[in-house]
Chain A
């Protein structure tokens, strides 16, 4: 592939998937600058590794996988920026703007989840991936995905009680 085609492929990948990756990584990293760094590193990996894909879905899953790995690396090694509470993010980018009370509570719950659980919750509930697909994307067993979903539901439930005194998730 020549340079022009590579640039074209990069531009298309950014156009199609940067928004999705931004949402997922932002919720995980809770910091705009770290999220931008992760996205840049993810698409740079796409540009330098030049992977071959069987389909658009494969490409999407690959990008999510790489971005998740980068998020983990960031969280492990680069605590340069502090994670920012949702209320403060709200002031700067209006994350809950126009949302009803229930959605704001849900955002709060997810915001405060453990990072491993958060990845699974977002991919399963928000992106609609199956347990098997998440297992492939995150490189963990299907059992581990189910276990994390279960733990996430339990945690959300506990957090939910703390928030409004009621059971949040089944």
Chain B
């Protein structure tokens, strides 16, 4: 056999004209790939499922079941409407699916109401309205417009309207999860049972990592949830370095908007891979900067970031460093720095306003990060 690999070798791997058209139509509308959409919703749905079935917060179980009952009671016609919405989702980011971004105040309110929705079964009196054309919208209600596939918000929203938004989003995510389940029926899951170590032990290690990074806080009394992510079980090519335990600290009833903490531990050595605080509620409380201000402060804060990493984890004098503005739901309030220390890479997010770390992640030597000026993103080689 010779080593002449040529184009003809792949001649049977062909794209159809039909798919080219579909690709064009999807991109023209700014529609994102299904997988990324599921990525966003996946976390939300996982949390919803958790609060409904798996939460350790005693006393509220009956209420969580109410949310589940509400989802299961959706008539087929309503489910079908959500399926159509999902297929027509034109949002490049999830917030592009709305007529405007929620204000920080609204995001905080949504987080609060969402906890009541999930934990106390506080549901809206009415569903969001649906109209065919934008011209049919009264401008005062929360309304889904079929013409542009967007949820339209009035200039200011009452708690009742925010609740109807939460209800809409929860139902949409529930339907999306159900659709994803159908698709994934024959796909082996990378999520496995926790083995060879107790969940309590994992939580204890995770707590120590959070206390080290954030100090003692209320989150230590929140509900904990442990997952075992083992992609090497479904694809050996991924490598065991991606196998990990994820431990979450969540507020009772909290889902997509609530502040939550997370720690990732290596599955075989239980070393801390990452620790973070996140959630729209958390981000909404951060000080916002313009992009230019954020980048200027990112340069000015660099030494402080190095000092924080050294004080917490002992890494000194990075060989090189790259940074970019975090995508904080449209705000510029945190900076992501990636630093190389000999054979270790430390990837952190820095809360610009409070000048504190809000996440830290450690990578193996095999990951080399660089910044791609053309695509405007970090890449790993």
Q: Which A residues contact B (CB, under 8 angstroms)?
A: 7, 10-11, 14-15, 18-19, 22-23, 26-27, 33-34, 36-41, 43-49, 51, 62, 65-66, 69, 72, 74-83, 93-99, 102-103, 105-107, 110, 114-116, 121, 125-127, 138-140, 144, 153, 156, 160, 164, 166, 168-170
Contact = CB atoms under 8 A, between A and B. Distances in A.
Given A23-B10, A27-B10, A95-B13, A106 B33 contact: no
A97 B12 contact: yes
Given A41-B32, A79-B238, A139-B381, 15 more contacts: A14-B20, A14-B24, A22-B14, A22-B15, A36-B23, A40-B31, A46-B27, A49-B376, A77-B39, A78-B36, A82-B188, A93-B13, A107-B9, A125-B5, A153-B3
Interface string B10-51: 101111000110011011101111111011000000000000
A51 B374 contact: yes
Contacts, number: 150
A80 B35 contact: yes
Contact of A140 (B1, B5, B234, B381): B381
B290 interface: no
Contacts of A97: 12
A72 B379 contact: yes
Residue of A10, A36, A49, A99 most packed against chain B (CB within 10 A): A36
B285 interface: no
Given A14-B27, A139-B379, A126 B1 contact: no
Interface residues on B, range: 35 or more
A82 B3 contact: no
Given A10-B28, A69-B377, A97-B12, A139 B187 contact: no
B12 A160 contact: no
A52 to B, nearest CB: 10
Contacts of A43: 23, 27
B234 A79 contact: yes
B207 to A, nearest CB: 26
Contact of A98 (B12, B28, B30, B33): B12
Given A144-B381, A168-B3, A82 B237 contact: no
Interface in B150-186: 184
Given A78-B39, A97-B12, A72 B380 contact: yes
Contact of B1 (A26, A95, A127, A160): A160
